[in-house]
Each structure stands twice: as structure tokens, then as C-alpha cells.
Amino acid sequence: MEIKQQPKSAPYLYLQIAARIEKQIMSEVLKAGDKLPSVRMLCRELGHNMSTVTQAYYELESRSLIETRPRSGYYVSVPPKKRLAVPGTSNPSAEATLHNQDDLITRVHKDSENPNVTLLSLGVPDKSLLPIAKLNKGMLQAMRTLDGSGTAYDHVQGNDKLRREIAKWSLSWGGDLDDTDIITTSGCMNAVAYCLHALTKPGDTVAVESPAYFGILQLTQTMGLNVLELPTNATTGIELEALKKALTQNKIKVCLLISNFNNPCGASMPNEHKKEVVKLLEHFNVPLIEDDLYGDLYFGSNRPTTCKTYDESGMVLYCNSISKTLAPGYRVGWVAPGKFKDQVLRLKLSHSISSTTITSEVVADFLKNGRYENHLRKIRQILHNNSMKYSRAIANYFPESTCVSRPEGGYFLWVELDKDINTLDLYERAIKHNISIAPGRMFSLKQQFDNCLRLSFGLPWSDELEKKIKLLGILINKG
């Protein structure tokens, strides 16, 4: 293999190296299954250091162009046998009857507690993705630093240092929060719950994406809210025309969106859509609860913006947490409720007094010392890699008519099967083989998405996992 050093347009050396190898793969100079030179050998040949070449290989791996084989090295990937279509825009049933999916959701949660089950159903980061040793060091540090070692109540609004760090972090998505704008919560759902309580009373209507995250649907049901499920594109998120129509026709009290790499489709709203949604909602005086839980997990080169980025009137209540990136069990989340801050703060005080002191401090330090940023780089790389590998396996083993979303971040693939395949039946058959999936039915209050399923790619890729996806494919073909 010959890679000459010439000036290229790519901004970094590792991207230049990757581009050249990619060119050789595309022109079939390097063929599927060919072994690549070892990192060491390439370093010697090119006169680069190890980390540059390693990064180039990572880049190619994350794009599924090459793959590692344990104790053997890097090989040119065998491309998927077929390329699947992407699902289009949902067309939520207009039928009014509600079908509470509580029993199904409880069932899926219950089955997931069996340690033998391969968990493709839930968006929980695998232990291997989390910086546990570093967090434990942070815990020791927090015990030493905190007055009373974290036994005392925290301020109602939340740990001061954490709020400052979150404010600084908001620069990454084009925000300009300051610490007084932020209230800490017990995870992101807790933030969303306070926002909904602040803005609605039973009988009010909340507009959401469709399909929608089942946790949000459950929350609206426990609160006695009506839900308006709006057409949503599997790539670009909520349909603006549909939202506009709904705002004109309905009495929407509040809108709730997962703007980046959403759950379950993986869709991300383009910047123009975000701007437009904020403008629309402002015009109709409808607040937006924005759940940005997956925003830091982008596979591309830039952190996507948020709706909050374009919010000038304080109508956007921005919710986030570290549950998908750092430590779900820490229960550290936050909300920047814009002009609804007083109401949300009063709700937090009356519902739980304060957040857990020590885990807030650990997360604050993690952000402050740049460890969060380092960690995110790693977890993004792994999730990107996983997404490509899971997608390829689906392309190889699922029927050709399957559509699968192509998320540019986050945890989820949304899979649409033939209309005659029922994923509730598939769930029953898969769980017998200790595979747990999330049937489409979970993501609506109306009986729909019966031929769809959500797959999480949070589990590390392995031959074993590939076999599970292959088995799912066989079960689908048999159905």
C-alpha cells in the first residue's frame, strides 16, 4: 500500500491519512477482507506518530470502512449485502381512542432485569462506556471537599459549581446561560416533569413527536394530560407544517420535543427547523419543553445547536442530564426554564427539597476539569462505531424491505418492517431467546407502529451480538 504525503484539503493530518485509505478502498486497490498494514508499520513508513495513525484508523472504523479482528489487526470491511431505505415521515393515526401501554412498558422493564437478556430494548449506557474509576476518584474528592462530606442539604436551586459548569457548557450548543438560569434536578425526566407541572393542568394538551419516547407518554398520562402526536420525519424530526396546523387548530398548551438524535427515531432537527419552531411557538405563545438528552452524543464534527439557542423570549425550557453519558445512577440533571424559572424552582422545593449533594459535586468536578469532554470523545466514537455495525448487521440479516433510520448521534435505530409483521409477536418470540427489543407500540398512545421496533446500540459490539441480530432477522423472516 502506498500513501504519499502530499498537501490535502482535510484540516487534520489523521483525516488526510484516512481520506487516502478511503480512496484506495473505494477504487478497490484495497479489497473487502484485505489486511491493512499495522499501525506500527504505517508509522514507520509515513514518519507519523502512533496516535495520528491510530486516529486515522479509528476514523475509518467509525465509518465502517475498516474493522478490527481481535489479535489480528485491521481489515477492509465487507460491505453490507444491501443498503436499506430510511423510514419516512410518520402519519400518526387520527383515531382518538387512547391505549395505555403501561402493561407493555412494565413487561419490557421487568424482562430487562434478567441478567441473561441481551438488552436491545432500553437506552441504557453499557458499563463499559462509563468512566467508573475516574468517577470513583471524584467521589473520594467530593467527600474530602464538601462540608459534611455531602450529608447536608444542597441549595434548593442546586450545587453552585455544577450550575456554573453547565452554564459554561451551554456555549458548546450556542447557548449563553448563566448559573442563575439553571436548576438541578434528579435526571432529565425529573426536569421534564417539573416543566410539565409548571405549565399544565389536567385536561391540557401537549404536542409531541410521533413516535414519542414512552416515558414522556407515561408522564403525560399520570398527569391527566391530552397528547397530540404529530407527524415526524425519521431524519429531520417534527414536521413544521403539521405543527403549524395543529397550533392554529388546537388548543396546545405546551410543546415537548427531543430536538437532537431523538428517542426513538434518532432524528435531529436541522438548525432552520429549530429556528422556525421557536418562531412559530413564540407567535402562538406556546412554551417549548426541549429535551436535549442526546445532544452531546453527536457522531459528526460539531455539537448540534438546540431550540434554546434561538430562544430570545424565554419560552424554551431546556432539559438535560448526564444519564446517557456519565452515570444514570447519579440522578444528576438540570433545566434552564427561561421565564418559568420561579414556578419550576417552587416545584422542585415542594416536591423534593434538594438534589443529591455528593453526586452533583462529582459531576461538577468532572465538567470543571475537562474530564467530561475527554470522556465524551471516547463514548461518541464507540457509539458511532456501534451504530454502523448494528446498521450493517440489520442490512445483512433483516428482510430487504426493512427501513432503518440513520441517526447522526445518540443511542437508537428505528426499524420499520413489512406491514404484516407484528413486533409485539416478535417481542414474545425474541424474549424466549433472551433478546429484548422495544416494540413500536410502546411509542404511541394510539395502536400504531405495530410493524416497527426501536433498537438501542448501547451494548458493545461483539460476534455474540451479531449472532443475536442475525437471530432477530431469522425470527422476522419466520414471522
Pairing mode of beta strands 118-119, 435-436? parallel
User: Which of positions 269-288 make contact with a copy of itself (CB under 8 A)?
Assistant: none
Does residue 75 contact residue 69 with C-beta atoms inside 8 Å? yes
Determine the Cα angle at 336 with ends 331 and 342, to 5°: 105
DSSP H or E stretch at residue 461 = none
In angstroms, the CA 23 to CA 408 distance is 23
Does residue 193 contact residue 333 with C-beta atoms inside 8 Å? no
Q: Which is nearer to a copy of itself, 360 or 385 (CB)?
A: 360
- Residue 180 lies near a copy of itself (rule: CB under 8 A): no
Site string for a copy of itself, 203-222 (x = CB under 8 A): ------------x--xx-xx
- Residue 357 lies near a copy of itself (rule: CB under 8 A): yes
Q: Where are the beta strands (DSSP E) in 212-285?
A: 226-233, 237-238, 252-258
Q: What are phi and psi of 183, to 5 degrees?
A: -120, 130
Binding segment toward a copy of itself, per CB under 8 A, in 28-36, 135-143, 400-408, 452-460: 135-143
How many residues make contact with a copy of itself (CB under 8 A)?
56
Considering only 155, 245, 251, 467, the residue that binds a copy of itself (CB under 8 A) is 155
What does the radius of gyration of the chain's CA atoms come to, in whole angstroms?
A: 23
Site string for a copy of itself, 328-347 (x = CB under 8 A): xxxx--------------xx
Tell me the sheet residues that pair with 208: 229, 256
- Residue 150 lies near a copy of itself (rule: CB under 8 A): yes
| Of residues 253, 340, 249, 240, the one with CA closest to residue 280 | 240
- Number of neighbouring beta carbons within 10 Å of residue 11: 8
CB of 7 to a copy of itself, least distance (A): 45
Q: Which is nearer to a copy of itself, 90 or 184 (CB)?
A: 184
Site string for a copy of itself, 70-89 (x = CB under 8 A): --------------------
Binding segment toward a copy of itself, per CB under 8 A, in 36-44, 193-201, 272-280, 420-428: 193-201
Does residue 277 contact residue 424 with C-beta atoms inside 8 Å? no
Q: Which is nearer to a copy of itself, 17 or 347 (CB)?
A: 347
Cell of 446: 394510539
Q: Which is nearer to a copy of itself, 189 or 315 (CB)?
A: 189
Does residue 188 contact residue 258 with C-beta atoms inside 8 Å? no
Residues in the chain: 479
Task: List CB contacts of 354: < 8 A, sequence separation 6 or more.
Answer: 153, 154, 155, 156, 158, 348
Helices 102-112, 214-222: crossing angle, 10 deg rounding? 130
Q: Which is nearer to a copy of itself, 186 or 306 (CB)?
A: 186
- Residue 104 lies near a copy of itself (rule: CB under 8 A): no
Considering only 124, 403, 471, 474, the residue that binds a copy of itself (CB under 8 A) is 124
- Residue 152 lies near a copy of itself (rule: CB under 8 A): yes
In angstroms, the CA 117 to CA 338 distance is 42
Considering only 87, 92, 158, 187, the residue that binds a copy of itself (CB under 8 A) is 187
- Residue 325 lies near a copy of itself (rule: CB under 8 A): no
- Residue 90 lies near a copy of itself (rule: CB under 8 A): no
Considering only 10, 41, 349, 424, the residue that binds a copy of itself (CB under 8 A) is 349
- Residue 376 lies near a copy of itself (rule: CB under 8 A): no
Binding segment toward a copy of itself, per CB under 8 A, in 39-47, 130-138, 394-402, 444-452: 130-138
Binding segment toward a copy of itself, per CB under 8 A, in 162-170, 235-243, 349-357, 453-461: 349-357
- Residue 382 lies near a copy of itself (rule: CB under 8 A): no
Burial of 347: CB neighbours in 10 Å, binned 0-12, 13-18, 19+: buried
Pairing mode of beta strands 316-321, 333-336? antiparallel
DSSP H or E stretch at residue 76 = strand 73-76
- Residue 251 lies near a copy of itself (rule: CB under 8 A): no
- Residue 460 lies near a copy of itself (rule: CB under 8 A): no
Considering only 326, 383, 426, 469, the residue that binds a copy of itself (CB under 8 A) is 326
